[in-house]
Amino acid sequence: MTDIFDKCYGSEGYFGYFRAKNDMYFTQPVLEGIPGPRMKFQGKKVIMWAINNYTGLAGNEDVKNAVRKSLESWGTFSPMGSRMLTGNTEKHIDLEKKLAQFLQKPAAVLFNYGYLGVIGTISALVGRDDQILMDKLSHASIVDGTILASMGKRFRPFKHNDMDNLEFHLKAANKERKGGLLIVIEGVYGMRGDLADLKSICALKEKYEARLFVDDAHGFGVMGENGRGAGEHFGVQDKIDLYFGTFAKAFAAIGGVTAGEEKPVDYIRYNARTYVFAKSLPMIFVDAINASLDVMIKKPELRQRAWTVAKQLQQGLVDLGYDIGDTQSPITPVYVPAGSAETAMSMMRMLREDYGVFVSAVIYPVVPHGVVLFRMIPTASHSDEDVKDTLSAFKNLRDRLKLDLTQKPSRANK
Ligand SMILES: Cc1ncc(COP(=O)(O)O)c(C=O)c1O
C-alpha cells in the first residue's frame, strides 16, 4: 500500500533533485548579515545580486526609527484579529488612503503578503460565469489565483505579451460570454524583466469590454517618474482597473496592496478570503510601509541610482557577450548558455567561491522547462565598484570556462 509520505523519501516534487541531496547551496542557501550588497555566504564575503532590494530601503535609518517607535507602542502582536472583526485601526485605513493617493486611484486595500493579495483579489472578484485571460508567464500567485477562481473551469492562458493571441482569446471569450472578463498580467515580468505591452493591452481591454488586473510587484517603486509603477511608465495608470503592488521588494517590508475604484476595492475587501480570514497586517509593518513610502517620495534619487547601477551592469554583461534577453527594467537575467543546469551550477560555484559574487539561478517551475538563468538584481545600494568587480568576475568566468556565448539559450517565452 502506498504511504502518502513515500514521495518524501525520493526525488519527486519541485526541486526534488536538490532536496534529496540535502542541498543548502543552490536551494535554501543560508546567508549571513543584513540584506544588502555586501553579505556573507559560508563565512565568505560576497557581493549580493539576488535580493529584490531595488531602492536600497533595506536597513534605511528613517524606516528603522519608525519601526522602533512602532514596536515600543504596539509590540509585534498588534492589532489582533482580522480587519473584519478586531484588527482594523485608523493607521491601516490611513495607510490605504495614502497608498491610493500615491497610486492615483480612489481606493486601496492592504494584504499581509503579496501572494495573498493576488490570490485574494482575483478569487474574490471572479465568479462562476466570469472568465480569466492570463499571460502564460505570470507569477505563481496569479496562476494560483486564477486556478482557484476558475474552480476547475477552463481559463484562457495567452502567449506571453502576444497581442494577437490575447485578442484571439478575447474574441473567443466574448462569443461564449455569460459574465465578465478579467485580464491578469504582470507589469514587469519578474524573471525576464520585460514589460507588459500595457498600452496595447489597455486598448484591447476597452475594445472587448474586459477589466485589467496588473500585478506590478517588480514595477512598484521602481518604474515611472514617481515610482508609481509600470502604469505610470506607460502613461496608462488611469486605464488599469486594479493595480497591485507588493511591499516585499522596493519597499523592503512585507504586505501587498490592491488599488482601484472604490466599489470594486470594497467588494474585494469583503470577499477576499485571504483578507477576511487572516489576521490583520501587524502595526510594525503598517508603520514600516508608511515610512518607506515617505522616503521613496522624498528621495527619487534612490530609484534613479537603481537604474544607473542596472544600466552599468546590463551594458557590461552585454559587452562581455552574455545574453540578458529583452529586459526593460533593473531585473537582469543572464541566460545560461544552452540552458544547461550543469553549466549553471559550475558557474554559480565559481562565482561564489572564487570571485565572491553571489547570484541565484532560476529553473523550472519558476521559469518554463528548459530555461536556466541567473536573475541579478541591481539596487540603489550597489556601488560602482561592486559592478566593476562583478563584471570582472563574469569576464574571468567566461574565459576560464571557455563559455560559448554564441549558443542561443532557450527563452521558452510563448
Ligand atoms: C509578480 C509577483 N507577484 C506576487 C509576488 C508575491 O509577493 P510577496 O513576496 O509579497 O508575497 C511575487 C513575489 O515574488 C511576484 O514576483
Question: What integer is the mean pLDDT of 392-396?
Answer: 97
Ligand 1 nearest-atom number relative to CA 189 = 1
Q: What residues are in contact with ligand 1 under a 6 Å CB criterion?
A: 113-115, 118, 139, 141, 186, 190, 215, 217, 246, 248, 256
Q: How far apart are CA 294 and CA 43, in angstroms?
A: 36
Residue from 119, 246, 274 whose mutation best tests the ligand 1 pocket (most atoms within 8 A of CB):
246
Alpha helices in 139-282 (DSSP H): 140-150, 163-175, 198-207, 230-234, 262-271, 273-276
Q: How far apart are CA 46 and CA 51, in angstroms?
A: 13
Checking if the pLDDT of 386 tops 50, the result is yes
Are residue 31 and residue 104 in the same domain, yes or no? no
Question: What integer is the mean pLDDT of 356-373?
Answer: 88
The pTM (predicted TM-score) of the whole model is: 0.96
The model's pLDDT over 292-348, given as tens digits with 9 standing for 90+, comes to 999 999 999 999 999 999 999 999 999 999 999 999 999 999 998 877 888 889 999
Q: How far apart are CA 149 and CA 268, in angstroms?
A: 13
Are residue 188 and residue 266 in the same domain, yes or no? yes
Q: Bridge partners of 156?
A: 133
Q: How far is the CA of 248 from the centre of ligand 1 (A)?
A: 7
Residue 412: inside a domain: no
Picking from 250, 281, 312, the residue at the C-terminal end of a domain is 281
Q: Give residues with Cβ within 8 angstroms of 301, minimum separation 6.
A: none
DSSP run (H or E) holding 310:
helix 300-320
Full domain range(s) for residue 196: 79-281
Residue 68: inside a domain: no
- CATH code of the domain covering residue 375: 3.90.1150.10
Picking from 218, 247, 281, the residue at the C-terminal end of a domain is 281
| Bridging pattern class, strands 107-111 and 38-41 | unpaired
Checking if the pLDDT of 413 tops 70, the result is no
Are residue 201 and residue 311 in the same domain, yes or no? no
Residue 271: inside a domain: yes
Q: Which three cell numbers stand for residue 163?
A: 497581442
Number of domains in the chain: 2
Picking from 229, 246, 281, the residue at the C-terminal end of a domain is 281
Bond from prior residue into 365 cis (ω within 30 degrees of 0): yes
The model's pLDDT over 131-190, given as tens digits with 9 standing for 90+, comes to 999 999 999 999 999 999 988 788 999 999 999 999 999 999 999 999 999 999 999 999
Are residue 311 and residue 217 in the same domain, yes or no? no
Are residue 212 and residue 148 in the same domain, yes or no? yes
Bond from prior residue into 37 cis (ω within 30 degrees of 0): no
Query: Band of the pLDDT at 412, cuts 50, 70, 90?
Result: low
Q: How far is the CA of 355 from the centre of ligand 1 (A)?
A: 30
